[in-house]
Amino acid sequence: MTAPGATPDIRGITESLGYVFKDQGLLEEAITHKSYYHENRETAHSNNERLEFLGDAVLGLFVVEYLFLQEKQYPESVLAKVKSYLVSETVLADIAASLCLGKYLLLGKGEETTGGRDKKSILADALESVIGALYLDAGYENTKSILLNFFKEKIDSAIQSGEFFDYKTELQEKTQLLYGTLPEYKVIRQQGEEHKRIFTVAVYLNGEKLGTASGRRKKEAETLAAKKALEEIS
Q: What is the CATH number of the domain that holds 58?
A: 1.10.1520.10
Residue 4 included in any domain:
no
Catalytic residue among 125, 128, 137, 163: 128
Q: What sign does the CA torsion over 102, 104, 108, 114 have?
A: positive
Residues of the domain holding 226: 167-233
Is residue 231 part of the annotated active site? The answer reads: no
Residue 145 included in any domain:
yes
Instruction: Look at the chain and report how many structural domains it folds into.
Output: 2
Catalytic residue among 56, 137, 163, 220: 56
**pLDDT tens digits along 30-56:** 999 999 999 998 888 899 999 999 999
pLDDT at 45: 85
pLDDT at 146: 95
pLDDT at 162: 64
Question: Are 19 and 75 part of one and the same domain?
Answer: yes
pLDDT at 134: 97
Could you write out the DSSP letters of every residue in 40-93?
-TTT----SHHHHHHHHHHHHHHHHHHHHTSSS---HHHHHHHHHHHTSHHHHH
pLDDT at 3: 43
pLDDT under 50 in the chain at which residues? Answer: 1-6
pLDDT at 161: 67
Q: Which of 137, 161, 185 is the last residue of a domain?
A: 161
pLDDT at 214: 93
Residue 5 included in any domain:
no
Please check whether residue 105 is in contact with residue 99, taking contact to mean a CB–CB distance below 8 angstroms: no
pTM over 0.75: no
pLDDT at 9: 66
Report residue 187: phi and psi, to 5°.
-80, 115
Question: Are 147 and 175 part of one and the same domain?
Answer: no
Is residue 56 part of the annotated active site? The answer reads: yes
DSSP code of 22?
S
